[in-house]
Amino acid sequence: MMPLPISSPSPVSRETLYSYLARLAATWRTDAPQLAYDMGASFKRLMDQDDEALEVFSSWADLSPEVMAEMLSWTGMRAGNVRMRFRGELYVSRALRNPVVRGCPMCLREDAAGTDRPAHEVMAMRGIGSLGM
């Protein structure tokens, strides 16, 4: 079988699930909801961190359980109705899930510097930015 001319990027250190999904979608020249649909999981279920949808995502992206667990630890996982577990600590969910997306400009510049690869392949939002750090 002939390999595809495009390959999925690997997650970067501290990358969130949502950043990785967006980068995968950009790599495959589609949007995140369509990619989720093509994977066999709805976008909403991925956003809600549905276990079955996460399993489909992990399998499609060929992520090991360790890589997926690390990514989810930087994403923040639901822990009840108003709390989330982030890197082993509990936070009020609004501290992590905010409609304002924060990213570290220095990190994004470092991602893009020194490479000739497209920005969507190398620039990633990291979990630490979720807390404005």
pLDDT (mean) for 59-85: 88
From the centroid of its chain, how far is CA 7?
A: 17
User: What is residue 57's predicted lDDT score, i.e. its pLDDT?
Assistant: 94
Domain boundaries, the chain: 17-131
pLDDT, one tens digit per residue, over 16-48 is 898 899 889 988 889 999 999 999 999 999 988
User: What is residue 107's predicted lDDT score, i.e. its pLDDT?
Assistant: 77
How far apart CA 39 and CA 110 sit, in angstroms, is 30
| Residues 6+ positions from 102 with CB-CB distance below 8 Å | 129, 130, 132
Sign of CA pseudo-dihedral 26, 76, 71, 52: negative
5 pLDDT higher than 60? no
pLDDT, one tens digit per residue, over 103-132 is 677 777 787 787 888 777 777 777 665 444
User: What is residue 2's predicted lDDT score, i.e. its pLDDT?
Assistant: 53
**Backbone phi, psi, residue 2, to 5°:** -80, 130
Percent residues over pLDDT 90 in the chain:
28
How far apart CA 102 and CA 4 sit, in angstroms, is 34
Name the residue with higher pLDDT: 123 or 68.
Answer: 68
